[in-house]
């Protein structure tokens, strides 16, 4: 069984898209994979309720209860490891992870970023794309490494930047692509790892 653990901080729209895809596309039958748990650093994260309605286990590790980033990441890793994850998915998880955490899940930790990396790592990606005069923007699914938003790229989708776009309107179109791209990229990863079984 390939267990997937999803980390969220908010409403969980990407997480919900992944859960829907896993059910619709029968990841359990096709890849022996299931969404085992959703973990948040915020008890009020709306995505936790969505996960529970799908019968998915949830956990909360409040980052404010820890004196250091390392202590938080150690507690987070314990919550994740309780589900023996084959893949750890960052879906709107708004914490920068320590090298120790990233190293622990090397090769099985993925993130989605709302730009066409390597362009515009970090925050405010949509306004930066508009300010730079970009004709296209987009979204990237990538493996997580210790360098922020710089891991190997797994998948990308392109969105046009329209003449009257604001950061908000561009973000809305990018998010619609995120909800399609992230489940596809995870399914491709699962298919690839299934084909490499000894």
Residue pLDDT, tens place only, 167-192: 999 999 999 999 999 999 999 999 99
Number of domains forming the structure of the chain: 1
- Residue 5, classed as helix, strand or coil, is strand
DSSP 98: P
CATH number at residue 99: 3.40.50.170
- Residue 146, classed as helix, strand or coil, is coil
Active site residue 113: yes
* Residues in the chain, pLDDT under 50: 198
Which domain covers residue 185, as residue numbers? 2-195
Q: What is the pLDDT of residues 67-91, one digit of tens each?
A: 999 999 999 999 999 999 999 999 9
Predicted pLDDT of residue 23: 97
Predicted pLDDT of residue 193: 87
83, 113, 126, 142: which is the annotated catalytic residue? 113
Cβ partners under 8 Å of residue 2, min gap 6? 31, 32, 33, 34, 86, 87, 190, 193
Predicted pLDDT of residue 194: 79
């Amino acid at each position: 069984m390939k267990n997937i653990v999803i980390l969220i901080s908010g409403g969980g729209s990407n997480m919900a898209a992944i859960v829907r895809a896993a059910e619709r596309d029968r990841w359990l039958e096709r890849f022996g994979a299931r969404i085992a748990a959703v973990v948040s650093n915020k008890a009020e994260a709306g995505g936790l309720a969505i996960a529970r309605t799908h019968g998915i286990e949830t956990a909360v590790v409040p980052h404010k209860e820890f004196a250091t980033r390392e202590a938080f990441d150690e507690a987070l890793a314990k919550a994740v490891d309780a589900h023996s994850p084959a893949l750890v998915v960052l879906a709107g998880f708004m914490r920068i992870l320590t090298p120790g955490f990233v190293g622990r899940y090397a090769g099985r930790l993925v993130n989605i970023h709302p730009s066409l990396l390597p362009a515009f790592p970090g925050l405010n990606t949509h306004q930066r794309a508009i300010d730079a005069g970009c004709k296209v923007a987009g979204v990237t699914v990538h493996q997580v490494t210790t360098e922020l938003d710089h891991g190997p790229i797994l998948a990308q989708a392109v969105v046009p930047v329209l003449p009257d776009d604001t950061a908000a309107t561009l973000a809305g179109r990018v998010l619609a692509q995120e909800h399609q791209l992230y489940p596809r990229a995870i399914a491709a990863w699962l298919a690839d790892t299934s084909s490499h079984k000894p």
